[in-house]
Every structure is written in structure tokens, then in C-alpha cells.
Structure 1
């Protein structure tokens, strides 16, 4: 059975080994795409909520 310190140590080792190989351009592009995806997801949720509210009012008449 793996303990928590073993899991944390393994994850820390993986991050420490891969982090120097990631370039600044890739990291920046990843951050920008993550933010853009979150904003689009949020706006889509708001739009769909409004559409369903409008549709429920329209079809109850």
C-alpha cells in the first residue's frame, strides 16, 4: 500500500524532472488557452441558461 508521502514524493519528482523541459512559450500558450476555455465555458453556460428560460416561458403560453 502506498502512503501519502510516497505519492507526494513521486509527484514532486515527476514535476521536478519535467518542469525544466517545458519552454516559456508552451507554458504561456497553455495558460492562455486554459483561461480562454474557462471564459468560453462560462459564457456558454450563461447563454444556454437564458435560452432555456426564454424557451420555458415561450412554450408555457
Structure 2
């Protein structure tokens, strides 16, 4: 997956069929967050040297 960040715009470009499917799921989650006034917040930390995993939770405002 290619990820590009330009100021306040993030672009995700899937590089295979599985990533396309996962991006579609993420898109639907994000649309629901906006629709129901929820937010996506990080859990813990993202330190690639320790673990190449970024985790987020969906919280009500």
C-alpha cells in the first residue's frame, strides 16, 4: 500500500487485490465515523523498529 501525506490530505493507493478489499472496508468505517459523529483515535504507539503495526479505535465524541 502506498501512503502519501500532503498537509491535511492523506492518499492511500492499494497495490494488490487484498489491499483494495481492505481499503474498501476502511473507507466504509471512516464514512460511518463521520456519519455518526465518531472519531478514529490511535492506540498505543507506532514504532516500526519495535512492531510494524498501527492500531486505532473508534470512539464516540
**Structure with the larger RCO, 1 or 2 (CA within 8 Å, 6+ apart):** 2
When you count helix as a share of all residues, which structure comes out higher?
A: 1
Q: TM-score, normalised by structure 1?
A: 0.36
The structure having more radius of gyration, on CA atoms, is: 1
